[in-house]
Amino acid sequence: MYLSTKDRTKTVLHKCGLFPLARTAYRVCNRDVRKQQAREIAFYSSLVPAGALCFDIGANLGQKAEVLLACGAHVVTVEPNPLCYPTLKHLFGRNKSCYIVPSAVGKDIGSVDLYVHGTDATGSVRAEWDKQIYGFDRGATAVKTPLTTLDALIELHGKPYFINIDVEGFEVDVLSGLSSAIPLLSFEFHSDEIARAEECLNILSKLGTLLVRASNMDCNWLGPKTHDVQGCLRRLQDTNAKGDLLVWTS
């Protein structure tokens, strides 16, 4: 009942154009949200120098972009879900340090189906993603969205110091559209899908020498920075971990 009420409320707010304001007010008043954001700002400020160019691929409602901007970075915010655009424009539309790109990112330029559900900000180009995450078919619908590549974004905006990738299982395709080494890059991992993380690292290893280090969802390190990619992956799988894998390339 709570979830259905929440969904109905979100639908009404979206229809009235009030969702961005209501969401901002909620996040400002929510202590847990503020604490998590403070942890992330402290974490990323130690990794990303002020003034650096960053790409936020799969930006959702701008959570990571807010953090990176708070660290003093310039951010290219890339998100394919049209339901996210009003909030992104509300947050960053007047911010000269942030550029919004309404697109998915993959290995080719063109278009792709994005599977979304209701007023949810989350979505995936993987048709099975919704059922896999929620355990049942919620009736996701396909929305055609533009598709670009990391190389194309670099050509337009410059080479970033840091790329954050959160694309719900589409990481391999995203990285397949990159042909030059990036100083620092991160992507989400889950221990039960460690083969996909390994495939991502294999792609990146062709661009340079890798150093890797994993963090959990609360921005706590799960081990040391290491060249031992396979050892890092084994440790994450053995401990049933999930979070972000950070990759330095030289």
Does 63 reside within a domain? yes
Does 168 reside within a domain? yes
The domain total for the chain is 1
- Each residue's pLDDT tens digit, 76-116: 999 999 989 999 999 999 999 999 999 999 999 999 988 88
The single-letter code of the amino acid at 87 is T
- Each residue's pLDDT tens digit, 147-192: 999 999 999 999 999 999 999 889 999 999 999 999 999 999 998 8
Average pLDDT of the residues of the chain:
90
Does 211 reside within a domain? no
DSSP H helices, the chain, are 2-16, 19-29, 31-45, 63-70, 85-92, 129-134, 150-157, 171-176, 194-205, 229-238
Does 123 reside within a domain? yes
Q: Tell me which residue has tokens 């921005």.
A: 219
Does 79 reside within a domain? yes
Task: For the beta carbon of residue 178, count every other beta carbon within 10 angstroms.
Answer: 21
Q: What is the CATH number of the domain that holds 133?
A: 3.40.50
Structural domain that includes position 96: 2-180
- Each residue's pLDDT tens digit, 37-66: 999 999 999 999 999 999 999 999 999 999
Does 152 reside within a domain? yes
Full strand arrangement of the beta sheet holding 53-57: 98-101, 74-78, 53-57, 162-165, 184-190, 242-249, 210-216
Which pLDDT band, with edges at 50, 70 and 90, does 2 fall under? very low
Does 120 reside within a domain? yes
- Each residue's pLDDT tens digit, 197-229: 999 999 999 999 999 999 999 999 999 999 999
Does 212 reside within a domain? no
